[in-house]
Amino acid sequence: MLYDYIEKIRPHFNEGGKLHALRSVFEGFETFLFVPSQTSKSGVSIHDAIDSKRIMSFVVIALMPALLFGMYNIGYQNYTAAGVQASWLTMFFYGFMAMLPKIIVSYAVGLGIEFVSAQIKHEEIQEGYLVTGLLIPMIIPVGCPLWMLALAVAFSVIFAKEVFGGTGRNIFNPALVARAFLFFAYPAKMSGDKVWLAKDSIFGLGNNLPDTLTMATPLGEAAAGNTMNYDFYQYALGTIPGSIGETSVIAIALGALLLLITGIASWKTMLSVFVGGAVTAGLFNILGPDTTIAQMPWYDHLVLGGFCFGAVFMATDPVTSARTEPGKFIYGALIGILAIIIRVLNPGYPEGMMLAILFMNTFAPAIDYCFVQSNINKRAKRAKK
């Protein structure tokens, strides 16, 4: 039925039709709903059954557990801080209402810019924003205002993506660029102890909390040298303050499982991030300075903050990570190592994962170049013999 409708309205969008200006929007939606029927007209090319739109859908599905738990956690933190008893459904619904505007704003601004630039460049709409648009609201604190989110989305889509030529050509992960922009532009709304709690009631749900009530993330507390009032079980389950999608290790692990089974994310990158992080944190435990964050057990480092979320959804981004197979190990390990070093040695940035991944994005092509070049040299030597 849907298919018939699309066929019926198609002529309007062709050259000369009255809705020609919206052609790219139409094609974007059509190919999102159905696998396109066109095949390559020139040269030999093999198409996988799964194209990049299907990959994006899988990543979105993989993000769902973390997103749903994040919504529940927003409500849980609000009701716990107010000291009010409520069913988990109420908490979830409150979090859902708090989260929904952020997701809508992110998609509206991001896709708007994509549509406009696709129309200007006479290209198809690129589907990369489907994932980025969901990632951005998940990696910011719940207290971040919507206009800041809109500004960050616009900044990252234009300067991290469109200026490099759009999806698949960007050097840096757009979602992380948006977060880095917010982090450096509005530090008061991205870190500290005032932003991790939703403070207003929405449609009678939730509780109005006074502005003076503050709550820091465990990592922030550790960086400030305070003791932490949570245990490992809570870290893993995720009922702690933090950016919306990053708190629950279990929910992220479900997503990671799906990504690994479908082969979308590389296990090499993921594993080496964790190994790199664990080894570095372990070394700091043994040799490091006598500060709270350096002495935090290595397994706590791996489950706290954005480490898991970054390792699963950001480091494995096929566009910005290393593409050679051995390169993935080096790329991943360096992300883990750098993230922990930034966390421990720079108390100003308790969340080192974002900066570590952005930094390694810069070096991914260099890593690839080294491995490709060494392979060429090896073969050249073999050929001489």
Q: How many other β-carbons are positioned within 10 Å of the β-carbon of residue 52?
A: 16
Distance in Å, CB of 185 to other proteins, minimum = 4
Q: Which of 100, 185, 224, 261 binds other proteins (CB under 8 A)?
A: 185
Query: Closer to other proteins at the Cβ: 33 or 163?
Result: 163
Helix residue ranges per DSSP H, the chain: 2-13, 23-33, 52-82, 88-121, 129-138, 146-155, 174-185, 187-190, 218-224, 232-237, 249-261, 267-287, 298-303, 307-309, 325-345, 352-384
**164 near other proteins (CB under 8 A):** no
Measured between alpha carbons, how far is 312 from 106 in angstroms, rounded to an integer? 21
Q: Which of 16, 39, 44, 147 binds other proteins (CB under 8 A)?
A: 147
Instruction: Give one DSSP letter per residue of 151-191, joined into a string.
Output: HHHHHIIIIIIGGGTSTT--SS-HHHHHHHHHHHH-HHHHS
Distance in Å, CB of 357 to other proteins, minimum = 17
Measured between alpha carbons, how far is 18 from 21 in angstroms, rounded to an integer? 8
Distance in Å, CB of 188 to other proteins, minimum = 7
Distance in Å, CB of 97 to other proteins, minimum = 20
Query: Closer to other proteins at the Cβ: 139 or 273?
Result: 139
Q: Which of 115, 159, 230, 369 binds other proteins (CB under 8 A)?
A: 159
Q: Which of 145, 165, 263, 297 binds other proteins (CB under 8 A)?
A: 145
Cα–Cα distances (Å) from 181 to 29, 128, 150, in that order, read: 30, 20, 12
Positions in 299-338 near other proteins (CB under 8 A) = none
Q: Which residues lie across from 202 on neighbouring strands?
A: 205
Measured between alpha carbons, how far is 186 from 46 in angstroms, rounded to an integer? 47
Piece in contact with other proteins (CB under 8 A), picked from 17-25, 41-49, 184-192, 333-341 = 184-192
**184 near other proteins (CB under 8 A):** yes
Q: How many other β-carbons are positioned within 10 Å of the β-carbon of residue 274?
A: 17
**13 near other proteins (CB under 8 A):** no
Q: Which of 72, 93, 96, 181 binds other proteins (CB under 8 A)?
A: 181
Q: Which of 161, 179, 189, 301 binds other proteins (CB under 8 A)?
A: 189
Distance in Å, CB of 160 to other proteins, minimum = 11
Q: Is 226 helix (H, G, I), strand (E, B) or coil?
A: coil
358 and 172 Cβ atoms separated by less than 8 Å = yes
Piece in contact with other proteins (CB under 8 A), picked from 29-37, 71-79, 140-148, 229-237 = 140-148
202 and 98 Cβ atoms separated by less than 8 Å = yes
Provide the phi-psi class of 34: left if phi over 0, else alpha when psi is between -120 and 50, else beta: beta
Q: Which of 11, 36, 165, 187 binds other proteins (CB under 8 A)?
A: 187
**Which residues lie near other proteins (CB under 8 A)?**
145, 147-148, 159, 163, 181, 184-189
